[in-house]
Amino acid sequence: MNPPATVYPVKSAFAAETRITRDEYQRLYAQSLQQPDAFWGKVAERLDWMKAPTRIKDTSFELKDFRIRWFDDGELNASVNCLDRHLETRGDKTALIFEPDSPDAPAQRISYRELHERVCKLANALRALGVGKGDRVTIYLPMIPEAAIAMLACARIGAVHMVVFGGFAANSIADRVSDSGSKLIITADEGLRAGRKVALKANVDAALKLPGTNSVETVLVVRHTRAAVDMQMPRDRWYDAVVDDQPVQCEPERMNAEDPLFILYTSGSTGKPKGVLHTTGGYLVYVSYTHEAVFDLREDDVYWCTADVGWVTGHSYIVYGPLANGATALVFEGVPTWPDASRFWQVIDKHRVTIFYTAPTAIRALMREGEGPVQATSRKSLRLLGTVGEPINPEAWRWYYEVVGDSRCPIVDTWWQTENGGILISALPGATDLKPGSATLPFFGVQPAIVDTHGKRIEGEGEGNLVILDSWPGQMRTVYGDHQRFIDTYFRTYPGTYFTGDGCRRDADGYYWITGRVDDVINVSGHRIGTAEVESALVSHDKVAEAAVVGFPHDIKGQGIYAYVTLIAGEQPSEALRAELVKHVRAEIGPIAAPDHLQWAPGLPKTRSGKIMRRILRKIAEAGSSELAPDQLGDTSTLADPSVVDSLVQERRVP
Ligand code: WT7
């Protein structure tokens, strides 16, 4: 089966100073399962509660008795935990380091005291604009300090933030604004990425012309590039004009632990993206504790997570986890490969970064540029590396370990999902021996299990679908506005368990190896794209009759998007039309959803009942330019017209 993996034992330097040793991991893990109330009750003491919780865990995944409630008589405010409580001891400590897109632009350091003031001012401004507890606020910003400030200002007044990734187009913004019923949008004139401008305000303007977006009363515009933008009064207001004169103190809202903190949309296998809803108490307990334990956090660390705040990694491990822990977190506006492939490593040297957390896709892209750009820098400040977003191939792992970390720094490969709130499976650097490509072992309170397609539990070594048997505090509570969809998506496939949508193998040491999605979700550069979303964007073009989209292995992105398109009768395929369709998807969803390959399909392989057999399309896409014998496609006898497969194989694109 699988050859034994090389083991990288715990480093003695980590073992000597770690917060959690190997023995302690085992002891605490056992306690977390046997006495969850005692365990999480103690962990919850790490936060400042306005009213300490007396009830800890109240959860059941059984459909007849379904509930997920944590700390549910507790009261707290997330922004107070991220800011106010640090003022006395860490007021002058840097909370955020801002490194702009251009290396020539000055970096900024924002202390906890200053961050507190800026959050309070915006929170006061939001209240003055009529935003209150429970109202939804859309945040569509570049990676600038105002993104974190906006999230925390919402949290301060009990408004529910909904961040939209800056790479999404008008349609995607409109869908999310409409589904969430947002009252206000915080955006910027433009974003900057690799020296190029992103027309954020113009995208918001276009989104607000689309149906369903009438709930929006106000658009606050941060002056970032200072480009001239259309301001539509009285709807549009300059951020600085409404914020500058606000008082620097702001009474925080008392929130119940189970009150919503934010909504974040993520793709699933069917339909439109789901509004994943996270609540205040459990989420904050979980992200602050995992951030401290997994990254073995120390007071003087300079911590850098390269994610965008538009994704959950940015929420949990740039903003809420690090700031709740009083850490110094770096906010980076740029990209890894601009102005050149040593930018990451230069930023690490410039700010003496100690903990660096990035995605396998970035590592693979930089690995392609060779060791030169890395060797040109020192990276001596680094002590710990992390990855997230997709399985990391052992080759990339070793390059990250040997070249970037000089074989000095452990790598924590952290497996989790938007729905999870925080890390569920990961090494703890002072406790866990590493195996390249394995996320290793479950975090406290997390009970993974592997089941076959019938739901039968696989014990010991084996491979199947990954489920989680019981709740953890950071878990999502519902799909915003559609609780039934929440239950149906995650708890009906294997009743009594949370189904992750991932395949997984467990080895003889009990280590978990995530093998990737088993549903119709594609993981492109660590970003989730639903095949149904891309298909519906394609068929919205008036020359397209039908489309089927699958993932295929991609050297840098992990998975790429492969689209099969059937044109309406009378339309002729052409290179120009191909380019037009790719552009159409970019405009409909955003650049991350643009197909890497688009193949004309005179017909799609369907069963007699009309269901598209994606398994076959996946095989053809995966084969790329290599030979594809008919028997490699599996059983095609149930197809209504088996001959369509031959023509697809003949005409396949060579990725
Ligand atoms: C999917 C979740 C939450 C982090 C960002 C992605 C894949 C995530 C790993 C990892 C293997 C991973 C899974 C998961 N994934 N981390 N360390 N090893 N696979 O969040 O967009 O909700 O995607 O990303 O397939 O289901 P997301």
Q: Is 505 in the pocket of ligand 1 (CB under 6 A)?
A: no
Report how far ligand 1's centroid is from the alpha carbon of 355 (Å): 20
Tell which one of 388, 412, 529 to mutate to probe ligand 1, the residue whose CB is within 8 A of the most ligand atoms.
388
CA distance 546 to 8: 49
Is residue 526 lining ligand 1, measured as CB closer than 6 Å?
A: yes
Report CA torsion sign: 299, 304, 308, 311: negative
Q: Band the pLDDT of 655: cuts 50, 70, 90.
A: very low
Instruction: Please state the residue numbers annotated as binding site.
Output: 193-196, 313, 389-391, 413-418, 502, 517, 525, 528, 539, 541, 544, 586
- pTM for the full predicted model: 0.95
Token representation of residue 453: 């397609």
Residue nearest to atom 20 of ligand 1 (CA): 417
Give the mean model confidence (pLDDT) for residues 513-540.
93
Nearest CA to ligand 1 atom 27: 417
Q: Indicate if the pLDDT at residue 627 is higher than 80.
A: no
Checking if the pLDDT of 585 tops 90, the result is: yes
Amino acid type, 188: A
Distance 440 CA to ligand 1 centre (A): 14
Instruction: Taking residues 74-102, report their average pLDDT.
Output: 98
- The Cα diameter of the chain in Å comes to 73
What pLDDT does residue 608 have? 82
The candidate with the shortest Cα–Cα distance to 226, out of 186, 185, 190, 187, is 190
Measured from the CA of 527, which atom of ligand 1 is nearest?
A: 21
Rounded Cα gap, residues 655 and 653, in angstroms: 6
Which atom in ligand 1 lies closest to the alpha carbon of residue 514?
11
Number of continuous H segments (helices) and E segments (strands) in the chain: 22, 31
φ, ψ of residue 300 in degrees (nearest 5): -95, 15
Q: Which of 117-131, 163-177, 408-422, 594-608 has the lowest mean pLDDT?
A: 594-608
Cα–Cα separations (whole angstroms), residue 588 to 521, 545, 547: 18, 17, 15
Cβ-contact 605, 612 below 8 angstroms: yes
Average pLDDT, the chain: 95
Residue with the bigger pLDDT between 655 and 357: it is 357
Alpha-carbon torsion angle 6, 8, 9, 12, nearest 10: 160
Q: Within 10 Å of residue 395's Cβ, how many Cβ atoms?
A: 13
Buried b (16+ CB within 10 A) or exposed e, 189-201: bbbbbeeeebebb
Q: Average pLDDT for residues 234-250, to the nearest whole number?
A: 98
Residue pointed to by tokens 């997994």: 294
Which of 430, 211, 163, 173 lies closest to 313 in space, CA to CA?
Answer: 163
Report the distance separating Cα 521 and Cα 490, nearest Å. 14
Measured CA to CA, the distance from residue 644 to residue 278 in angstroms comes to 45
Distance (Å, rounded) from C-alpha 367 to C-alpha 263?
35
Residue nearest to atom 17 of ligand 1 (CA): 415
In angstroms, the CA 199 to CA 628 distance is 44
User: Is 80 exceeded by the pLDDT of residue 4?
Assistant: no
Closest C-alpha to ligand 1, atom 12: 390
Lowest mean pLDDT among 292-296, 492-496, 649-653: 649-653
Residues annotated as binding site for Mg(2+)?
539, 541, 544
CA proximity to 566, closest of 491, 638, 644:
644
Cβ–ligand 1 contact at 523 (below 6 Å)? yes
Q: Which of 269, 520, 528 to mutate to test the pocket of ligand 1 (most atoms within 8 A of CB)?
A: 528
Q: Residue range 618-628: average pLDDT? A: 83
3-state per-residue secondary structure call for 152-176:
HHHHHHCCEEEECCCCCCHHHHHHH
Q: Which of 523, 525, 559 to mutate to test the pocket of ligand 1 (most atoms within 8 A of CB)?
A: 523
pLDDT value of position 653: 56
Question: What's the 468 CA to ligand 1 centre distance in angstroms?
Answer: 15
Q: Is the pLDDT of residue 638 over 80?
A: no
Q: Answer whether residue 313 shows pLDDT above 50.
A: yes
Mean pLDDT of all residues in 316-329:
99
- The finding on whether 246 has its CB within 6 A of some atom of ligand 1 is no
Question: What pLDDT is stored for residue 269 in this prediction?
Answer: 80
- 32: part of which helix (H) or strand (E)? helix 22-34
Question: Which pLDDT belongs to residue 284?
Answer: 99
Q: Tell me the DSSP string of 213-272.
A: -TT--EEEEE-SS-------TTTEEEHHHHHTTS-S--PPPPEETTSEEEEEEE--SSSS
DSSP conformational letter for 484 = H
Question: What is the atom index within ligand 1 of the atom nearest the CA of 419?
Answer: 22
Which residue among 514, 524, 525 has the greatest number of ligand 1 atoms within 8 angstroms of its CB, and so is best to mutate?
Answer: 514
- Pseudo-torsion of CA 501, 502, 503, 506, nearest 10°? -120
Say yes or no to pLDDT of 611 above 90.
Answer: no
d(CA 567, CA 544): 4
Q: What residue type is assigned to position 203 of the chain? A: N
Question: Does residue 1 register a pLDDT over 80?
Answer: no
Residue 525: phi, psi to the nearest 5?
Answer: 50, 40
Report the nearest-CA residue for atom 7 of ligand 1: 390
Q: In sequence order, what are the beta bridge partners of 558?
A: 524, 554
Look at residue 172 and tell me whether its pLDDT is greater than 70.
yes
Residue 528 CA, ligand 1 centroid: distance in Å: 8
As a whole number, mean pLDDT of residues 404-417 equals: 98
pLDDT beyond 90 at 472: yes
Q: What average pLDDT does range 548-562 have in this prediction?
A: 95
Angstrom CA distances, 601 to 62, 557, 605, 621, 651, stand at: 44, 25, 10, 13, 9
Q: Using an 8 Å Cβ cutoff, are 380 and 353 in contact?
A: no
If one counts every other C-beta atom within 10 angstroms of the C-beta of residue 501, the result is: 21
641 CA from centroid of ligand 1 (Å) = 37
Pocket test for ligand 1, best of 390, 397, 438, 559 (most atoms within 8 A of CB): 390
Cα–Cα distances in angstroms (integers) from residue 187 to residues 62, 144, 191, 263, in the given order = 41, 11, 9, 17
Asked whether residue 391 carries a pLDDT value surpassing 50, the answer given is yes
